[in-house]
Amino acid sequence: MHIHILGICGTFMGGIAAIARQAGFRVTGSDQKVYPPMSDQLRALDIDIIEGFGVEQLDLKPDLIVIGNVMSRGMPIIEEILSRKLPFCSAPQWLYDCVLKDRHVIAVSGTHGKTTTTSMVSWILEHAGYNPGYLVGGVPANFDVSARLGSDPFFVIEADEYDTAFFNKQAKFLNYRPNTLIVNNIEFDHADIYKDIDAILWQFHQLLRMLPANGNCIALADDAYTDQLLEMGCWTPVTRFVAGRSVDGWSAERSAEDQLAFYCDGELRGECYWPHPGEFNIENALAALLAVTSAGVGFQASLDGLATFRGVKRRMELLGDFGGVRLYDDFAHHPTAIERSLEGMKQFNAGRVLAVLEPRSNTMKMGAHADQLSAAIAPADKCWVMQPDGMSWSLSDVLDASHSVKVMSSADAIVASVVEAAKPGDAIVIMSNGSFDGIYGKFRSALSAA
């Protein structure tokens, strides 16, 4: 069967393409921006990629067109598909129909921590001797690829609440029908899709209504919106977890600088090596541990897997040490994620933390989180923020200049200013969910020359 994927070069859609190829489908695709590394990864799988969305690509006559949510009404190729009544579906629907419906699906949802937790669950299963399928919105260091079909019953998926396609405005995760669900946390996000937190909670509520009674729901405790979600109704056994020692339910805390201890109702259940910074990573680890053990993996085997987890690219990834100045790349773009990433680095790094932020997400550009941004960057010793094109409001109007904050309009200016201020022992943390105008390479070159 030949499938043609529109919007193939995004992380999710590229993962769909890789899984389809591994499953034996003939796969082609197209995108507006075709460039490495995704283009190289896809071509290595013998997937032909067309630049742009020209109508002529329909001459390939695929059996099915898989449409990514980058596509919209009014685009000539979409209008032609609809006019000619060509067969099409969304990527989440294709994934369920062709892969997930016969698997034990472990879905990782929540505003923060999805990519890291999905990677942890996948690696624990792999380390325990399984060959799980997975689809992650990033590249786990233990695997070096973002998606795999796998051969065992388990399939682990990063389950986000963004909408499915132009013809299906439900959350993507409603397509996956999980057996085991992690709810890491819930906050307002995706202001371009949802008008308020209630709209997001409604999507999560639909997800809980689809969980089977013989499944498992692993949910963060002491989280207001997660509590509200569960009060709306849940027909599946729920296990709550929290970072920090607790006498109720599951909890975890550092027992040493690089050691994590796990407790159930206050009783120590086990420990493992854990070099990753931040309380949020403790929550991720505990959620992953509970998900795999509830699915039948042994507790000690799960701890052993966690101890060898190497992290995820672009999630507080160390890019290099330049004469004692360490450079990190972090995907944080929501105020809570920004604040918790910086707090974790402050605990992890003895010297100063220099934050470099690009507020690039649609939600941030719309100003939905403007009033939270100043507090989010407060843990940093110094902060440089990029004023992006297309933002209708001024960052300088909301950021506290007394906190050593500089708002600048170019990546080159930020690099020059940060490198001039940096000294041995400092950690430079770049936070963006995009390419940030090539700032990573610019920092490497400037720090190497300093």
8 A C-beta contact, residue 91 and residue 16:
yes
Tell me the residue range of the domain where 25 lies.
2-90
- CATH, residue 325: 3.90.190.20
Q: Are residues 85 and 103 in the same domain?
A: no
CA–CA separation, 59 vs 28, rounded Å?
Answer: 12
Peptide bond into 212 cis (omega under 30): no
- CATH, residue 35: 3.40.50.720
End-to-end C-alpha distance for the chain, whole angstroms = 55
pLDDT digits (tens, 9 = 90+) for 400-439: 665 588 888 899 999 999 999 999 999 999 988 778 888 9
What band does 346 get if pLDDT is binned at 50, 70 and 90? Answer: confident
Whether the per-residue pLDDT at 276 is higher than 90: the answer is no
Dihedral sign, CA of 210, 171, 314, 338? negative
Q: At what angle do helices 197-210 and 224-231 cross, to 10 degrees?
A: 50
Q: Are residues 335 and 442 in the same domain?
A: yes
- Domain boundary residue among 263, 278, 307? 307
In 3D space, the residue among 342, 381, 358 whose CA is nearest the CA of residue 443 turns out to be: 358
Q: What is the pTM of this model?
A: 0.85
Distances (CA, A) of 187 to 111, 165, 312, 337, 364: 6, 22, 22, 11, 14
CA–CA separation, 100 vs 153, rounded Å?
Answer: 9
- Assigned domain for 336 exists: yes
- Domain boundary residue among 274, 307, 340? 307
- Assigned domain for 83 exists: yes
Q: What is the DSSP string of 47-69?
A: -EEEES--GGGGGG--SEEEE-T
- Assigned domain for 135 exists: yes
- CATH, residue 202: 3.40.1190.10
Q: Are residues 17 and 107 in the same domain?
A: no
Q: Are residues 64 and 131 in the same domain?
A: no
Phi first, then psi: what are they for 97, rounded to 5°? -60, -40
- Assigned domain for 312 exists: no
CA–CA separation, 343 vs 311, rounded Å?
Answer: 18
Q: Are residues 154 and 274 in the same domain?
A: yes
- Assigned domain for 106 exists: yes
8 A C-beta contact, residue 364 and residue 398:
no
Which residues have CB under 8 Å from 150's CB, separation 6+? 131, 132, 133, 134
What band does 264 get if pLDDT is binned at 50, 70 and 90? Answer: very high
Task: Over range 123-150, report the average pLDDT.
Answer: 93
What is the chain's Cα-based Rg?
22
User: For residue 395, what pLDDT is reported?
Assistant: 76
What band does 189 get if pLDDT is binned at 50, 70 and 90? Answer: confident
- The two beta strands, 317-322 and 267-273, are unpaired
Q: Are residues 110 and 68 in the same domain?
A: no
Number of separate domains in the chain = 3
8 A C-beta contact, residue 188 and residue 201:
no
Whether the per-residue pLDDT at 199 is higher than 90: the answer is yes
Which one of 185-199, 267-281, 287-301 scores highest in mean pLDDT?
287-301
Q: Are residues 250 and 376 in the same domain?
A: no
Length of the chain (residues): 450
Q: Are residues 277 and 336 in the same domain?
A: no
Q: Are residues 364 and 293 in the same domain?
A: no
**Burial (CB count <10 Å: 0-12, 13-18, 19+), residue 390:** exposed
User: For residue 365, what pLDDT is reported?
Assistant: 64
48-52, 237-241, 385-389: which range is least confident on average? 385-389
- Domain boundary residue among 275, 307, 339? 307
Q: Are residues 195 and 217 in the same domain?
A: yes
156-170, 284-298, 423-437: which range is least confident on average? 423-437
Q: Are residues 265 and 347 in the same domain?
A: no
3-state secondary structure of 399: coil
Q: 148 - beta bridge partners?
A: 134
